[in-house]
Amino acid sequence: MALIEVSESAAGRLRALEAASGKIARLDVNSSGCSGLRYAFSQVEAPMPGDEVVPLDGASLVVAAKALLFVAGTRIDWIEEGLSSSFSFANPNETARCGCGESFKVGGGGCGPY
């Protein structure tokens, strides 16, 4: 299983962001929402120690070290519907997602992400 799978449309969006800013996209997870975790993108000059770099054709995606256990095996896509566009995540580690889709949970039992 690949660490992260990135669709061609998502890779194209990441290439465009990197070309426009000169920075690399970094995927992380933060505590948030009713399910415990949310995906967070930022742009960085270089990976931090422990981060994993996923090479893409013409760009890269950095996965934060603390996010690795939560996102391993995730497929990222870029969806455009009407006037709306966003990254979508198909994460095999998710055990629950909040009703609005803004946060997710991994693991079982109790509140929070664990």
The torsion of the CA quartet 76, 7, 17, 66, rounded to 10 degrees, works out to: 30
The answer as to whether 111 is a domain residue is no
Say which CATH number the domain at 44 has. Answer: 2.60.300.12
The answer as to whether 55 is a domain residue is yes
Mean of pLDDT over the chain: 86
What is the per-residue pLDDT across 6-15, written as a single tens digit (0 to 9) for each?
999 999 999 9
Q: Strands across the sheet with 104-106, in order? A: 52-56, 59-63, 24-32, 36-44, 104-106, 94-97
The answer as to whether 8 is a domain residue is yes
The answer as to whether 97 is a domain residue is yes
The position carrying tokens 């054709």 is: 57
Number of domains in the chain: 1
The answer as to whether 113 is a domain residue is no
What is the per-residue pLDDT across 65-98, written as a single tens digit (0 to 9) for each?
999 989 999 999 999 999 999 999 998 988 777 6
Nearest Cα to Cα of residue 53 among 68, 70, 34, 37? 68
**Mean pLDDT, residues 42-59:** 93
The answer as to whether 35 is a domain residue is yes
